Chains A and B, each alone.
Chain A
Amino acid sequence: MLKIIVCFKWVIDEADIKVSGKSRELDLSRVAYKISDYDRNAIEEAVRLQEQLGGSVVAVTVGPPTAKQSLKDALSRGPEKAVFVSDPAFDSLEPAQTAAILAEVITKNLEYDLIICGEGSSDLYAQQVGPRLAEKLGIPCATYVEKIIIKDKELIAERKMRDGIEVVSMPLPALVTVMPTINTPRIPSLKQVLGAAKKPVVNLSAKDLEGKYEPCLKTTSLLAATMERKRIKFTDDPQDIRKVVDALLKEGVIS
């Protein structure tokens, strides 16, 4: 029976972010939150493996107390239990701290054969937590995973590389970080949503942790990116073809 842990992050839904005119400041006053996109693929993959092979799925998240809202959402997608590690200070954790907290919580509280994380979060996309967590736990890790096959105590993963697919195998327990192409997350049914409230949640706070995790990231400014156009116009006159080529050469687009 496979014991799976899936880690997820509760992030701002980028669709709700508004940019205020000239100042380029981001207005976050009316944003909604969601489970980070690739983490939904991680949850789905965990639940699919459980459906195929039996076993259990526990969802774990670290965040500020407001991330409590994420638990029913995550549980409605299939895991039978959630672990919520929260503290007001966990609002601005650095990926190494998140990984350390997860490692501590998992080591003390949970048994596992497989840990699944999203490749990166929708907000920071640092791609750090998965590999760091594997390192802390001393287990093998495969990133960019698009397919998982479990055979006895071995995991075979297909990794999407720039120039092809790499197939790797590793002994369990292991950790994988998954790409969005691995599956299409299901939409929870109404009874699954209503049933989520009845599933157990283990609440842990900073006091339950041995390590000290003081906020060490400070956001000094957050501005929308702008894309300045060159505003160079060309006509359909054949003479202008030379001008286009010259302009592209000058910009270093072609050589």
Chain B
Amino acid sequence: MDFRLTEEQEIIRQSVREFAAKYIDPIANECDENKHFPMEVFKKIAEQEWMGIPYPQEYGGAGSDYLTYVIVIEELSRADAGIGFTVECHTSLAAFPIFKYGTEEQKQKYLVPLCKGEKFGSFCLTEPGAGTDAGSAQTTAVLDGNEWVLNGSKMFISNSPIAEIFIVFAMTDKSKGTKGMSAFIVPREAPGLRVGEHLNKMGIRSSLTAEVIFKDCRIPKENLLGQEGQGFKIAMHTLDGGRIGIAAQALGIAQAALDESIKYSKERVQFGKPIASFQAIQWMIADMATDIQAARFLTYHAAWCYDQGLPYNKEAAMAKLFAAECAARHTNRAVQIHGGYGYIKGHKVERLYRDAKITEIYEGTSEVQRMVIANNLLR
């Protein structure tokens, strides 16, 4: 057993930290305040080759591994969870299903520009009436000659305002339930695709989220991803990997909360002493650090399982569940340590507190993660 990262992974972690200090930290508050998507930062992220980290170089990726990818998401999220998430959603949710289920032609046409960071990708599963119960989706796809015709709407679709490639799940045979769901690759220019207003979110405000509406949206027959009826399986398999990415995002948020808390508690003087000298604060810091370390090991282990070709569905759920709850719990404590200052806009912990919450909700709520874990143990 070896807990050390490779030299390359250590160098990449330092690189992302340096990148974040230079390009993200100075703008993070402004992006949060104005729900601004920093396109210029993503151009630089693409130049760093961080938009397709775990995919082979022949498809425009960096040809690295999932653990390295997780480290990058963690470090980006430590500076700005919206930026970390945008890369995560793009890599894990949009690029993955094409990499895993796409034909060679689909990979060349869609995966390559995603991995190179030339185009953003988006994953359209959730609907206004189908969240956790994704199998009850109402969006339909009907084959009409050489084209699929999509109708329906998808809700809370991350990256959709800037995405050019959409992975869309629609029912091709409602009578078959989840086995009647299929996956499609929809280019932005497809007639009948419309992206709604950029939603005003509580947190991760530097990322873009909107509704995506399909009205007689026509795409070529060959844009079916995988087999007809395989859609639900593709969605679930994709989300397994995504959960490792969200665990990494939550980990970055929690680590940032700890960093801020340590710094502040050493500087803040009350009763004539830095508050770090009080046991009440010390215990909070100790608990935060311990939980974060546990979350990190769970997350890295899940990524390691992915890289080793081992089953990772349970491990990903455990990592996401624990890291998300760790982030929510400890950003709350970080605000507590900062007292009134932590409640004021512009203080990083105030942003972290809002950013953390979503990690318990998207790519499977904490309740869903518990279901996945229990199903693995009790079947």
Contacts and interface: CB of A to CB of B under 8 A. Distances in A.
Given A194-B62, A194-B64, A189 B7 contact: no
Contacts of B11: 72-73, 76, 188, 193, 196
B8 A191 contact: no
B49 interface: yes
A188 B15 contact: yes
B186 to A, nearest CB: 29
A39 B233 CA distance: 52
B89 to A, nearest CB: 19
B33 to A, nearest CB: 27
Interface string B33-51: 0000000000000011110
A254 interface: no
A1 interface: no
A189 B8 contact: no
Interface string B339-378: 0000000000000000000000000000000000000000
A76 B18 CA distance: 15
Contact of A189 (B49, B57, B68): B49
Contacts of B18: 187
Contact of B8 (A34, A72, A187): A72
A55 B345 CA distance: 52
Interface in B3-27: 7-8, 11-12, 14-15, 18-19, 22
A190 interface: yes
Contacts of A73: 7, 11
B179 to A, nearest CB: 39
Contacts of B57: 191
Interface size class of B (residues with CB under 8 A): 10 to 19
Interface string A182-206: 0000011111011011000000000
A69 interface: yes
Contacts of B50: 190
Given A69-B7, A187-B18, A193 B63 contact: no
B63 A189 contact: no
Interface in A8-50: 34
Contacts of A189: 47-49
B53 interface: yes
Interface residues of A, number: 14
A25 to B, nearest CB: 19
Nearest to B72: A190
A187 B19 contact: yes
A79 to B, nearest CB: 14
A82 to B, nearest CB: 13
B101 to A, nearest CB: 25
B19 A193 contact: no
Given A187-B15, A187-B48, A188-B15, A194 B7 contact: no
A34 B10 CA distance: 11
Contacts of B62: 190-191, 194
A17 to B, nearest CB: 15
A197 B18 CA distance: 21
A189 B63 CA distance: 12
B9 to A, nearest CB: 9
A190 B7 contact: no
Nearest to B50: A190
Nearest to B22: A187
Interface in B38-94: 47-50, 53, 57, 62-64, 68
Contacts of A190: 12, 48-50, 53, 62, 64, 68
Interface of A: 34, 69, 72-73, 76, 187-191, 193-194, 196-197
